[in-house]
Amino acid sequence: MPLREREIDEIIQVVTDRPYWGGGGRIFDALGIGDNWNVNRRANGALREHLRQLGDDQTEALLSYFDLRHHEHNDPVWPIKGLRLFVSHRDEQRANLALLGTALQRYGIAAFFAHDAIVAGRDWRGELLRGLGSMHALLAYCSPNFSGSDWTAQEVGFAFGKGVPVVSILAGENPTGFLEQWQGIRGVVNSEDTARNIAESVFERLSAADAAKEPLSEGLAPRLKFAGSFDAAGFISDRLVQVGRLSPVAAQTIRIAQAANNQVGINAELLALLGEE
């Protein structure tokens, strides 16, 4: 979808107001626009015309990078960009699993917990079905009596029927039914440390699944914008390499981040993924 005029206005304004993002020129260089423009002249016709002609992937990367998505771009069920992970669990685990949801964001994973994601007053069954229907993967947190819930059984069955990757965490109960055929991750989320360790294991499983690669890349790439050090940027770059494939939007986002954030370096492996060896 082409950029609207108000979005073009906001993109030009944001690079004017925030020169620490690269002064604008390097960002547009990364998109192939070049630096023949004057950021202080917001009516610059040539720049506006270039922005109007950007492809869908470039448009999405710009809107995502500069946090300029308007309500029509947003999905109320999945407000965070990235791999959409539906977490199936018993209700008594909600407090501990909130820690896991936070830890997963570091890996470009947006977790859906029905008790948190569904706004009060909405059709909760409909919202639950929307979450299931639009998920990229499902995580089954197998705490005691997980299999005793009709809801968790239906959620897991939905995931297998949809054909998305399924990861299980063995947190007190051995998997049953369809889950038995897959080796689960052993562990219990009960602290920030255990949440971080399990999040790393979940990422490793998902990054090996072909269907999860591009969504993971789209969740990781924007985090380069916030990398405050070479080490932080290196952590993200290493995970992108581990994923092994970039969506077109993720590739554009990485180029913008490299241009805008001087903490972001591109190693040989990531250059190869970008097709720029």
- CA-to-CA distance for 195 and 112, rounded, in angstroms? 16
Assess contact for 98 and 213: CB atoms under 8 A.
no
Tens digit of pLDDT for each residue in 38-84? 554 445 677 777 788 888 877 877 777 776 655 444 576 787 789 99
> Domain residue spans in the chain?
5-73, 83-208, 215-274
Residue 210: how many other CB atoms lie within 10 Å:
9
Place of tokens 């950021």: 39
| CB burial of residue 274 (10 Å; 0-12, 13-18, 19+) | middle
With CA atoms as reference, report the closest residue to 269 among 236, 230, 241, 234: 241
DSSP count for the chain of H helices, then E strands: 13, 5
Question: According to the model, what pLDDT value does residue 2 have?
Answer: 75
Question: According to the model, what pLDDT value does residue 123 have?
Answer: 67
Strand 137-142: give its sheet, edge to edge.
Answer: 109-112, 83-88, 137-142, 166-170, 185-186
What is the SS3 assignment for 109?
A: strand
Find how far residue 14's CA is from the centre of its chain. 23
Question: According to the model, what pLDDT value does residue 139 have?
Answer: 95
The CATH number of domain 83-208 is 3.40.50.10140: yes
Assess contact for 132 and 155: CB atoms under 8 A.
yes
What is the residue-level pLDDT of the chain in tens, covering all 277 positions? 677 787 777 777 766 665 444 445 667 666 666 554 555 444 567 777 778 888 887 787 777 777 665 544 457 678 778 999 999 998 888 888 999 999 999 999 999 986 544 444 566 778 888 899 999 999 999 999 888 888 888 898 999 899 999 999 999 887 777 787 778 899 999 999 999 999 999 999 999 999 999 999 999 999 998 888 999 999 999 999 999 999 999 998 998 888 888 899 888 899 999 986 5
Global model pTM greater than 0.85: no
Question: According to the model, what pLDDT value does residue 3 have?
Answer: 79
